[in-house]
Structure 1
Amino acid sequence: MVSSGGRVLFRAASKLLPRPSWSRGCVWCQCRSISVKPGGLKPKTVPARYLGQPSPFTHPHLLKCGEVTPGLSQTEYELRRHRLASLIEAQSDRLGPPASSSTHVLIVLSHPTRYMTNDIPYPFHQNQDFLYLCGILEPDSALVLYGKGRPDKTILFVPRRDPGRELWDGPRSGKDGAAALTGIERVHSTEELGVVLKSIKGSTLWYDSSNPSHSRLHQAHVSPLLEAGAMPRPLRPLIHSLRALKSSSEVALMHEAGRITAQAFRRTMTLSLGDVDESLLFAKFDFENRLHGANFLAYPPVVAGGNRANTLHYINNNQMIKDGEMVLLDGGCEYFGYVSDVTRTWPVNGKFSTAQAELYEAVLEVQLSCLSLCSPGVSLDHIYSTMLALLGRQLKRLGIVKAGTSDADVLKAARRYCPHHVGHYLGMDVHDTPELSRSQPLQPGMTITIEPGLYIGEENEQAPERFRGIGIRIEDDVLIRDKGGPLILSADAPKTISDVELACAQR
């Protein structure tokens, strides 16, 4: 999915804390192989009931013992909170006393339930920053980190048990269930958030007050602190600097999301028989993603036939695609909190025309060159500049730009025929960690998209007639690695002309 606009510069933290020398016992089976923190509480056992989200007790086919969400353990979530505390401590040390000795309070709110009409809710989707730090999938929750100098104490707030509401909305974890699931020892009901915040009396508040993720909790519990004179510092850039660097567990989830989406593309291409409704391709793509393990689509996909491919975020997906036209499908899935974002363009009758093949090969050649640049130390902005130069050469070669055009005008033409960036960060969200600038050097563990395109509208009288009405984008998901070159997470999606035509011919 193409992204627009620049972002705030923030240098991601490259030094990660060592793994703690202790970890809590497994709350599900109390495995002897996992030790308990010296002097700490005994591990809690999970209630023998459904919680507000899957658990190893109720969903053993999804979660292993000790996991909070599929693939991610209590230890990993705890390590994330330790790393965030270290970032706060490091910033405080740079400020010097008295900031370094002050009590820091960090507040992250969940998302609320949103309603499409009256009492019918939309499917709930958690605030990714909140989810990243604790793994709780329930609405109306909050996480507070605090401590003197180093905010390494954690309090979790979750909705209280309410049989009346649970009858309609489903089970809630409650304090005991949330504590057992996450391993966080101090858990309160959400109604107690304001009282607890007042009792901490922090002198340095870290909270994103400009755009609260939960307006009701903000007004009821956090606003009194701001009205009392607290001047919050932004927390989101620090969390995003951590989210940008993926652990091996996160990479595994993203790799599976990429694999599922690639197979969905392959199976959707089998409907290439001639005239086809965009809505049918949409339904097939959605079905294949969910059938093979995705939770849902990561965003409303673009299924754009013919000239509609030149509308970058076309999501109506309700027109007929005629035999001989191409379809641009930009889609991805979410797999237990991590997403894919892939684009392929192919002829709906399964065979590229000469003009379609010419334009497609030009975009593919540029994409392959850009993929080869995906290595540590290179920025997305540098790859973007390279993309524009390469597209400019292709435009001249194809006769879309005249041979004698100056280099400056060729670059202008490249920006006109490809008005979006070469890519963006990817992770828990499609346009992930937007606080990070695309001018900063890529680091091992970052995941990005690479998605050059050429868009030639029907009304474009400057381009050769055979190319008019064609829009092509090719997008893959890429993991930056220290060694071995980039890992293409969506590599199974057919991409060469021969592979695309072969996939279209499968029945």
Structure 2
Amino acid sequence: MFNSTKLLNNTLIQSGVFRYYCIKATKSKPTATTKWPLKNVTKMYGQPTSGTHPHLLKDGEVLPYIQQNELQERRQKLIENITYHTSKYNKDIKRHLIIVPSATKQYMSDKIPYVFRQSTDFLYLSGCLEPDSCLVLATTESPSQHCVTMFMRETDSHSELWDGPRTSIEDAVGLFGVDQALPVSELGSYIKFYMKSNPQSILWYDYITPVQKNIHKVMQDFLNEKFNKLWESPNRFIHQLRLIKSPAEIKLMQKSCDIASDAIAKTIRFARPGLSEHQIFANMEYECKMNGAEYLAYPPVVAGGNRANIIHYINNNQIVNDGEMVLMDAGCEYHGYSSDITRTWPINGKFNQQQIAIYEALLDVQADLIKMCCDFPSLDYLFETMCTLLGKQLQNIGLIPKTVSSASLIKMAYQFCPHHVSHYLGMDVHDTSTISRSIKIEPGMIITVEPGVYVTYNHRVPKEFQGMGVRIEDDVLITENGPVVLTKNCPKSVEDIERLAKENQV
């Protein structure tokens, strides 16, 4: 259990009458039978380090491109933002306990796990890739003074025989740049001790959408006790930080976009009539992983013909026939950062008259929307503008009558494109979900721009257009000097698409 006596003997922070204490982790001592130094032995951790994976990480990096001091700055900024926000509404509350759990392993069947993916909020603040952990930030009356504790699984030789090494509690302090590390089994006692010592504190924890069952059970037990507690979710404050990408994050995003762009180009070249959507999907995944992506960022859409009108079609199990187009919406995840691209191409290498009319109309709309990002509009405003621009383009090619009013034009355009034209992009594909799309975009944000046209057999349009679905999507970095298309290397012009698609025709 949590040793409060030991805790009280280790003063870390003092502020007026408030005394906050943290246990400083001590390094384990070698046993008498161990001969030091060990030669030709690399110390193992629960994740890559610059020592074990020099091809991925440089000295000082906890994750590729992400230095330890950047993680520390993120945590400091989170505390400052939460403290400032709270002070505006309740000046009596000056202490905060912020609980951010990791993800846990999920199993498809007995002892057979799914591929583990870390909780992005936890990863953003900690740099830790291990499951069943928890980051706790405890403040004093001053935001500049706080204690960061990493709660980790204890090392276990039997478990590590099967699942691989864990980062020891002793090594966690140095690896993640935290003040102390403790066994995750002591989390409940730690929280109770802190809150009883500081009854006017706010507990910050996402109680509504928990990410780890064991941590949530600890929090339920704590919040059911009978002493006074205030709690709120920290998610929106974490997302506000994640919304603006650092230079290191932009490098990771660019790499993710480059890998996916190259994979899509090679997949367009690979595809031909008679292949299944699954084979096209497999080629995309192969190319991404061969170039360093850990996995695809989401189940891709690979939709031939009329199936492209199903916005989130992921069955990917039909044959693509001569004369049809393929709509592929796919991206990869590169060390925690996602790309999201959509391209549509003729499987036989040549757009027909109706296909090229819709495709070029979308190209024009997308180009105008990307240029608009110079003025820092909101994503919602981009969507409203898309409906107007798309409506006019569809009038020009005969899908919407030219006699309709302006109000009706927008409504009719929405019927051809019933999804938003943009979302935030970053560690998650639909990133920072608590951030409204009504705010103006700012430098450092990364967004998608993805107009589409979906002509079902129910639309009252010329038969030659029916059954077509087309979308073009790029990832765009917002800067002071204008938008930067991170996916610019992914072929998009009619000429480039047709040239690639013809290369593998039999």
Q: Which runs of 5+ in 1 are unaligned?
A: 1-39
Give yes or no for the alignment of 1:169 onto 2:168.
no
Give yes or no for the alignment of 1:51 onto 2:45.
yes
SS at match of 1:421: coil
Distance 1:89 1:448 in 2: 29
1:252 is aligned to 251
Q: Which amino acid aligns with 1:477?
A: D
2:379 is aligned to 380
> Greater Rg, structure 1 or structure 2?
2
Give yes or no for the alignment of 1:63 onto 2:57.
yes
Distance 1:156 1:362 in 2: 52
Distance 1:147 1:272 in 2: 56
SS at match of 1:320: coil
SS at match of 1:472: strand
Q: Assess if the C-alpha contact under 8 Å between 1:81 and 1:152 holds in 2.
A: no
**TM-score, structure 2 as length reference:** 0.89
Give yes or no for the alignment of 1:104 onto 2:96.
yes
Identify which of 137, 155, 167 aligns with 2:129: 137
SS at match of 2:231: coil
Give yes or no for the alignment of 1:429 onto 2:428.
yes
Identify which of 472, 483, 486 aligns with 1:486: 483
Distance 1:309 1:241 in 2: 34
Q: Assess if the C-alpha contact under 8 Å between 1:479 and 1:486 holds in 2.
A: yes
2:81 is aligned to 87
CA distance 1:221–1:97, shift in 2 (3 Å): closer
- What is the deviation of 1:95? 2.3
For CA contacts below 8 A with separation 6 or more, give which structure has more relative contact order: 1
Deviates more, 1:373-382 or 1:489-498: 373-382
- What is the deviation of 1:221? 4.8
1:31 is aligned to none
Distance 1:458 1:275 in 2: 23
Cα displacement string for residues 357-411 of structure 1 (whole angstroms, at most 9, x for unaligned residues): 1110011110111111113631111111110001110121111111211111111
2:452 is aligned to 453
CA distance 1:281–1:196, shift in 2 (3 Å): same
Q: Assess if the C-alpha contact under 8 Å between 1:376 and 1:480 holds in 2.
A: no
1:356 is aligned to 355
Q: Which amino acid aligns with 2:495?
A: S
SS at match of 2:373: coil
Q: Assess if the C-alpha contact under 8 Å between 1:448 and 1:477 holds in 2.
A: yes
CA distance 1:441–1:406, shift in 2 (3 Å): same
Q: Which amino acid aligns with 1:471?
A: G
Cα displacement string for residues 136-174 of structure 1 (whole angstroms, at most 9, x for unaligned residues): 011100011011232732011111000111111111112
Distance 2:124 2:326 in 1: 36
Q: Assess if the C-alpha contact under 8 Å between 1:146 and 1:153 holds in 2.
A: yes
- What is the deviation of 1:273? 2.9
Distance 1:196 1:375 in 2: 49
Q: Which amino acid aligns with 1:105?
A: L
Q: Which amino acid aligns with 1:355?
A: Q
SS at match of 1:116: strand
Q: Which amino acid aligns with 1:104?
A: H
Deviates more, 1:375-384 or 1:132-141: 375-384
**What are the within-5 Å matches in structure 2 for residues 119-158 of structure 1?**
119-149=111-141, 150=143, 152-158=146-152
Distance 1:223 1:463 in 2: 60
Distance 1:503 1:113 in 2: 41
Cα displacement string for residues 46-77 of structure 1 (whole angstroms, at most 9, x for unaligned residues): x9422111111110100000111111010000
Q: Assess if the C-alpha contact under 8 Å between 1:275 and 1:348 holds in 2.
A: no
CA distance 1:226–1:366, shift in 2 (3 Å): farther
Deviates more, 1:181-190 or 1:492-501: 181-190
Q: Assess if the C-alpha contact under 8 Å between 1:379 and 1:442 holds in 2.
A: yes
Q: Which amino acid aligns with 1:497?
A: V
Q: Which amino acid aligns with 2:358?
A: L
2:32 is aligned to none
- What is the deviation of 1:96? 4.4
Distance 1:273 1:471 in 2: 18
1:192 is aligned to 186
Q: Assess if the C-alpha contact under 8 Å between 2:27 and 2:171 holds in 1.
A: no
Q: Which amino acid aligns with 2:151?
A: F
SS at match of 1:262: helix
Deviates more, 1:432-441 or 1:149-158: 149-158
**What are the within-5 Å matches in structure 2 for residues 24-423 of structure 1?**
48-99=42-93, 102-149=94-141, 150=143, 152-201=146-195, 202=198, 203-221=201-219, 223-228=221-226, 229-375=228-374, 377-423=376-422
Distance 1:438 1:376 in 2: 16
> Number of matched residues?
464
- What is the deviation of 1:127? 0.7
- What is the deviation of 1:465? 1.0
Give yes or no for the alignment of 1:473 onto 2:471.
yes
Distance 2:340 2:150 in 1: 32
SS at match of 2:475: strand
Deviates more, 1:466-475 or 1:407-416: 407-416
SS at match of 1:276: coil
Q: Which amino acid aligns with 1:123?
A: V
- What is the deviation of 1:220? 2.7
SS at match of 2:138: strand
- What is the deviation of 1:301? 0.1
Runs of 4+ in 1 over 4 A off after TM superposition: 40-45
RMSD of aligned alpha carbons: 2.0
CA distance 1:143–1:403, shift in 2 (3 Å): same
Distance 2:217 2:225 in 1: 11
CA distance 1:186–1:143, shift in 2 (3 Å): same
SS at match of 2:50: coil
Deviates more, 1:48-57 or 1:105-114: 48-57
